[in-house]
Amino acid sequence: MDFGLTDEQEQLADSERSWLERNDPIARLRQTLDQAPITIDRAAVTHAAESGLLAMLTSDIGGTHVDLAVCSEAHGYAASSLPIADLAVGIWLLDRAGMDAATAAASGEQLIGPARASDQVISPVPMAAELDGFAVVRRIDDGDFVAVIPDANSSRMATLDLTRSWSRPHLDAGVVDWKALPAGTVRYVRDALAVHRAFDALGGAARLLDLTVAYALQREQFGSAIGTFQAVKHHCADMALGVEASRAALWGAALSLDTAPDDARSRAVSAAVAYAKCAASAAAGTALQVHGGIGFTWEHDLHLFLRRIKVDEAVDGSVAEHRAVLVPA
């Protein structure tokens, strides 16, 4: 596959990274980390709505998952609490079903995240406590349907992640306002959320790579920077290889979301996501090893990214679950 980001996508990535640097999510998190749960920065919501990022996948904007992917990685790199990809997929669902809530969601007036339901069990949703509702997709008989449920019924989950909260919404059996969706939409949403969750982990791994290289060049032992030691060079090279290979694989998966038929898309997604989640987790472990004792401290940001990556690895399909897709029973 011959693929590269367009100039417009590069500019989008640069613009989003620049905004996140000016409005550092970790600095905001550190202000309340010991006192209160993390919340969504309303300035980030306003920025995403005014920039058209929330409505990127709608028919009016006409963006692609590759466009959205550069934002997903940027928010993972910054450890942002705004679930940018989830909100975009949620609005896409509302738009696809022709639901009036799509307009309010695209403007940021309401925050609607997507969730996948099986029977009465719904998949975990990031920052669910901050959302106004959920666009729940499920298969009923032989069709795919979506309904918007309020945020009132959800169970807060205890996770490693300190940069985001996670909850599991409850599906009331009395929900009857189900809107029909084109066949295959539930499967498509599963694939899309898996790709963007892996991009979030990739962003965290890329941030840890930068932190680790900077630390290796600054930390000295025996009168020399540890970055001059061959073993440390190899560690950093392994991290860089994992990050770059994951990025290439996930770009291919994002492109498949926009262009490939169902079976080919799901296989491309599972192959890329399994590799990227595994590589991101390995990079986090290596970063901790190179940092040594300082990496274990509460004050260092390393543990925030490590925790986030571990939760990304577990939700929307674990590595084992995605590998199982590639090996038929």
Q: What is the pTM of this model?
A: 0.95
Q: Domain for residue 141, yes or no?
A: no
Q: Domain for residue 289, yes or no?
A: yes
Chain segment 23-79, per-residue pLDDT in tens: 999 999 999 998 888 999 999 999 999 999 999 999 999 999 999 999 999 999 999
Q: Domain for residue 265, yes or no?
A: yes
Residue where the block lists tokens 């599991």? 168
Q: Domain for residue 72, yes or no?
A: no
Check pLDDT > 90 for residue 120. Answer: no
Distance in angstroms (rounded) separating the CA atoms of residues 93 and 99: 9
As a whole-number percent, the residues of the chain with pLDDT over 70 amount to: 97
Chain segment 240-258, per-residue pLDDT in tens: 999 999 999 999 999 999 9
Cα–Cα–Cα angle for 7, 18, 197, rounded to 5 degrees: 80
Q: Domain for residue 169, yes or no?
A: no
Domain that holds residue 233: 185-326
CATH code assigned at 320: 1.20.140.10
Structure tokens at 41: 């920065």
Chain segment 155-208, per-residue pLDDT in tens: 889 999 999 999 998 887 667 689 999 999 999 999 999 999 999 999 999 999
Number of domains in the chain: 1
Give the model's confidence band at 2: pLDDT under 50 very low, under 70 low, under 90 confident, else very high. Answer: low
